[in-house]
Structure formats: C-alpha cells, structure tokens
C-alpha cells in the first residue's frame, strides 16, 4: 500500500503543480456524475410523482392556461432532472485546457533549464516530463468525463422525454 502511495506521489511530482489541479477537477467532476446517478436512483421518482400529481389534480387540461401550467411543470422538472449536467460538461472541457497549461509550464521549465544550464539533457528531461504528463492526464480525465457525462446526458434526455409524454393533454 505504501508503494502505491509513493508511486502516485512520484507521478504527481513529475507532472508538476498543474497535475494537482487536474486531479482535483477530475475528482469534482466524478463526484457530480455520481450525484446525478444517485439522483436518478433516489429522488427522481418523487420529483416526477409530485409534478404529475399537480397536473392530474387540474380539473381541465385543454385551455391555454393549462398548456402554460404544463410547460411550467415540465420546465421545473427538467431543471431538477438536468441538475449539474452543465457543470459536468464544463469540467470535461476544462480538463484538456488544464493539460495544455501543464504543457506550457513544463516547456517554460525546459527553456529555463536551457538558459541556465546550457541545454543539460538531464534537467531538460525533467521539464519535458513535466510538459507531457499533464497533457496526457488532462486528456484521460476529459475522456473519462465524456463517458460519464454522455451516460448522464442520455438519461436526462430520456427521463425528460418520458415525463413530457406522461403529462397528457386529455381530459
């Protein structure tokens, strides 16, 4: 167990400070993804039930005002269903950008080593690894986030469509 810890810490040191930002953002992103999945397993049924009961309690459902109430119920439920999906998608987009930031800071370290040590290969190699590791980590974090956000987005679209179809206009 201690060997794993040292390996992870060594990797984080090679990648530089930006790697910690990527790790934090990835943890935050996956926390939001898990929260959405848990929402669908727990709270979602109650949200749909409450909105459906409000709709079903209406004496009529064909007038203009009934259409407006239906649209409002759909909008409110859709907002709850969507939840943190936009924030998840923002995190997915930020991961590669932070990876590029790591590339830039790593290349600055390479240029600094070239300027101060006259192109010493050993010091340049440290900067090159500091440039490539965050790029790789940012892309991997982004790809994992794309997978998670796609699953959540499909579920959001499916549940919203089902809810819209459930609120019928007859009566």
Number of domains in the chain: 1
CA distance 133 to 106: 9
Helices 121-166/85-117 angle, 10° precision: 170
State residue 153's pLDDT score.
97
Say if 171 falls within a structural domain. no
Integer distance in angstroms from the first to the last C-alpha of the chain? 65
DSSP string, 95-119: HHHHHHHHHHHHHHHHHHHHHHHSS
Say if 26 falls within a structural domain. yes
Say if 141 falls within a structural domain. yes
Q: Which residue range forms the structural domain that includes residue 10?
A: 2-166
**Which residue intervals of the chain are DSSP H helices?**
2-15, 17-41, 44-56, 64-82, 85-117, 121-166
Place of tokens 């810490």: 9
Q: For each of the chain's 171 residues, which pLDDT tens digit applies?
A: 889 999 888 888 888 889 999 999 999 999 999 999 999 999 999 999 999 999 999 888 888 998 899 999 999 999 999 999 999 999 999 999 999 998 888 888 788 777 787 767 776 777 777 788 999 999 999 999 999 999 999 999 999 999 998 887 665
Say if 54 falls within a structural domain. yes
Question: Smallest Cα–Cα separation from 150: which of 33, 28, 26?
Answer: 33
State residue 24's pLDDT score.
96
Say if 42 falls within a structural domain. yes
Say if 30 falls within a structural domain. yes
pTM of the model: 0.85
């Amino acid at each position: 167990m201690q060997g794993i810890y040292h390996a992870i810490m060594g990797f984080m040191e090679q990648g530089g400070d930006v790697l910690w930002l990527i790790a934090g953002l990835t943890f935050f992103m996956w926390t939001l993804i898990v929260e959405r999945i848990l929402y669908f397993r727990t709270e979602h049924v109650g949200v749909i039930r409450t909105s459906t009961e409000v709709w079903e309690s209406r004496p009529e459902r064909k007038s203009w005002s009934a259409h407006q109430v239906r649209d409002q119920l759909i909008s409110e439920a859709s907002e709850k269903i969507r939840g943190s999906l936009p924030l998840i998608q923002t995190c997915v987009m930020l991961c590669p950008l932070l990876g590029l930031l790591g590339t830039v800071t790593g290349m600055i370290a390479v240029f600094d080593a070239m300027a101060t040590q006259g192109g010493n290969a050993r010091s340049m190699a440290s900067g090159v690894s500091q440039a490539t590791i965050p790029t790789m980590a940012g892309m991997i974090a982004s790809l994992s986030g794309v997978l998670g956000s796609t699953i959540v987005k499909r579920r959001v679209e499916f549940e919203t469509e089902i809810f819209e179809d459930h609120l019928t206009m007859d009566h």
